[in-house]
């Protein structure tokens, strides 16, 4: 229940109580006093419902935190708005010698929960506009959004008919499976070549994903299923969304950048996300400690890599083992990460971190947590909050940095170079580059 809904419910119940509860009636004809008692009763009842709504939200409702593109990681000083600060950083930023902007692989387009049967949504991915729709049989499809007839956006006002999407402009119908036009309502014949591009897609772990390959090749690997999510042992407990102004590779590269863990993520989550203040004296009695190892996986999963992350907390230098957490961070291709949490008594769960390029230097990062159904929702919500605070510190770096292709690395940074070699498998000769995008005015 959102705060707005809770407030609405509170007011509604309050109004009902005014009409139904004869609070003033048992006050023996006190006139004004009776009215006052009645009003006070209503306000108290309304406040109780609000409080219950708020408690329900804290204890049971999933945590949902959706950040806008300018919300995190920019310094707005001198009376500038965040939006202006973000714009200036983007305009002045040196991009560096960038790798191709769209690697080959699977990318999340939408959470399954957000697409009902018969619903269509317009989504920006990999510099394209796609229409994601769910046929009446329940299957999700992804097709190019622009109608080949006269260019209307199929997902903006388009209607789902069976397993087809009907254009809102003149009613041409396109089959989700292969994008072929199967009906033109005012024409006897449908031209053989009338079709939209249909993207290879799959729906797994509560997400709808598309396969991108610059040459249009078929998927080279499948998206692994997290069985506990499919069979309902782990349940949905929240999600967050961030937009990051950086090249996609910068985000997973932090898994190979083991030394940044100490610098960026040692200050406690209580000291916040703004890197100017995270080392404040007030919180120096609390410290996170990280141990990590990163390595690529072997055949047949060379498109995967793993980081084993061990977290400890110290309070005044004393190790507080209650918050020892082990996380297996598995990167699957260029855009998907599965973080599996293990805790001695707080149970197990998974956080899916998906990075999808929206434009060459704008990434949508969605993080969705599923956790053991029998563990109180507060636990995964706390873990997600802690992860997001740490993550937003990285966002501040990503949003303001440039990509350095010939990085000045020391021996202890060797995993960064290894990670770059591993990640380069997702680029091929025709992978789109930023310069190409600029030349063709697509960017």
Residues near Fe ion, by CB under 5 A: 254, 394
167 binds, among ligand FES, Fe ion, none (CB under 5 to 8 A by kind): ligand FES
Cα gap 228→61, rounded to integer Å: 20
Site string for ligand FES, 161-200 (x = CB under 6 A): ------x-xx-x----------------------------
Q: Least distance to ligand FES from the beta carbon of 125, Å? A: 21
For the record, the structure tokens of 390 come out as 């740490």
CB 74 within 8 A of CB 82: yes
For the record, the structure tokens of 99 come out as 């790798």
For the record, the structure tokens of 176 come out as 């989700």
The smaller minimum CB distance to Fe ion, of residues 175 and 393, is found at: 393
Which residue has 């305009």 as its token pair? Answer: 91
Q: End-to-end distance of the chain based on CA atoms, in angstroms?
A: 40
Q: Least distance to ligand FES from the beta carbon of 200, Å? A: 23
For the record, the structure tokens of 382 come out as 């706390």
Q: Least distance to Fe ion from the beta carbon of 208, Å? A: 27
CB atoms within 10 A of CB 331: 26
221 binds, among Fe ion, ligand FES, none (CB under 5 to 8 A by kind): none
Cα gap 437→383, rounded to integer Å: 39
Q: Find the part of the chain contacting ligand FES (CB under 6 A) among 143-151, 278-286, 287-295, 349-357.
A: 143-151
CB 42 within 8 A of CB 14: yes
Q: Contacts with ligand FES in 250-269 (CB under 6 A)?
A: none
Residue 370 CA: distances (Å) to CA of 101, 156, 322, 356? 30, 31, 21, 20
* Helix (H), strand (E), coil (C) string for 296-315: ECCCCCCCEEEEEEEEEEEE
Cα gap 55→78, rounded to integer Å: 39
- Which position among 149, 260, 348, 418 is part of the footprint of ligand FES (CB under 6 A)? 149
415 binds, among ligand FES, Fe ion, none (CB under 5 to 8 A by kind): none
The smaller minimum CB distance to ligand FES, of residues 169 and 221, is found at: 169
Q: Which of 201, 327, 304, 266 is nearest to 275 (CA)?
A: 266
Task: Quickly list H helices, 60-176.
Answer: 82-92
152 binds ligand FES (CB under 6 A): yes
Q: Least distance to ligand FES from the beta carbon of 175, Å? A: 14
Q: Least distance to Fe ion from the beta carbon of 390, Å? A: 6
For the record, the structure tokens of 437 come out as 């995008």
Q: Contacts with ligand FES in 63-122 (CB under 6 A)?
A: none
The smaller minimum CB distance to Fe ion, of residues 245 and 254, is found at: 254
254 binds, among ligand FES, Fe ion, none (CB under 5 to 8 A by kind): Fe ion
For the record, the structure tokens of 171 come out as 């009613």
The smaller minimum CB distance to Fe ion, of residues 196 and 261, is found at: 261
388 binds ligand FES (CB under 6 A): no
- Which position among 145, 147, 273, 350 is part of the footprint of ligand FES (CB under 6 A)? 147
The smaller minimum CB distance to ligand FES, of residues 182 and 328, is found at: 182
155 binds ligand FES (CB under 6 A): no
CA neighbours within 13 Å on the CB side: how many for 387? 28
- Which position among 66, 114, 150, 378 is part of the footprint of ligand FES (CB under 6 A)? 150
Residues that bind ligand FES (CB under 6 A): 147, 149-152, 167, 169-170, 172
């Amino acid at each position: 229940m959102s705060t707005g809904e809770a407030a609405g419910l509170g007011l509604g119940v309050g109004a009902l109580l005014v009409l139904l509860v004869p609070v003033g009636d048992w006050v023996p004809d006190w006139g004004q006093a009776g009215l006052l008692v009645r009003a006070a009763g209503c306000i108290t009842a309304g406040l109780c419902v609000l409080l219950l709504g708020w408690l329900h939200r804290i204890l049971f409702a999933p945590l949902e935190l959706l950040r806008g593109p300018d919300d995190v990681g920019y310094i707005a000083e001198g009376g500038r708005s965040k939006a202006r600060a973000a714009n200036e950083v983007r305009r002045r930023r040196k991009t560096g010698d960038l790798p191709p902007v769209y690697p080959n692989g699977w990318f999340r387009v939408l959470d399954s929960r957000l697409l009902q049967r018969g619903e269509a949504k317009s989504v920006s991915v990999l510099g394209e506009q796609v229409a994601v729709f769910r046929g009446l049989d329940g299957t999700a499809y992804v097709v190019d959004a622009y109608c080949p007839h006269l260019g209307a956006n199929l997902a903006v006002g388009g209607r789902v008919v069976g397993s087809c999407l009907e254009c809102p402009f003149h009613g041409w119908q396109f089959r989700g499976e292969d994008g072929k036009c199967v009906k033109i309502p005012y024409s006897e014949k449908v031209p053989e070549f009338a079709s939209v591009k249909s993207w290879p897609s799959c729906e797994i772990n509560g997400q709808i994903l598309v396969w991108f390959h610059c040459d249009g090749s078929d998927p080279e690997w499948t998206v692994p299923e997290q069985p506990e999510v499919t069979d309902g042992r782990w349940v949905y407990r929240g999600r967050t969304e961030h937009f990051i102004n950086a090249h996609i590779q910068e985000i997973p590269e932090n898994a190979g950048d083991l030394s940044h863990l100490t610098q960026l993520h040692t200050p406690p989550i209580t000291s916040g996300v703004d890197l100017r203040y995270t080392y404040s004296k007030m919180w120096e009695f609390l410290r996170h400690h990280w141990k990590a190892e990163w390595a690529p996986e072997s055949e047949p999963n060379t498109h995967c890599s793993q980081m084993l992350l061990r977290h400890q907390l110290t309070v005044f230098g004393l190790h507080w083992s209650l918050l020892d957490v082990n996380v297996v961070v598995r990167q699957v291709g260029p855009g998907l990460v599965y973080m599996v949490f293990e805790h001695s008594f707080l149970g197990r769960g998974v956080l899916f971190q998906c990075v999808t390029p929206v434009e060459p230097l704008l990434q949508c990062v969605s993080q969705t947590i599923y956790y053991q159904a029998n563990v109180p929702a507060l636990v995964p919500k706390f873990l997600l909050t802690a992860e997001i605070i740490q993550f937003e510190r990285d966002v501040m770096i990503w949003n303001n940095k440039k990509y350095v292709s010939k990085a000045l690395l020391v021996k202890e940074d060797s995993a960064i170079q290894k990670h770059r070699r591993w990640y380069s498998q997702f680029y091929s000769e025709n992978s789109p580059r930023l310069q190409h995008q600029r030349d063709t005015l697509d960017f």
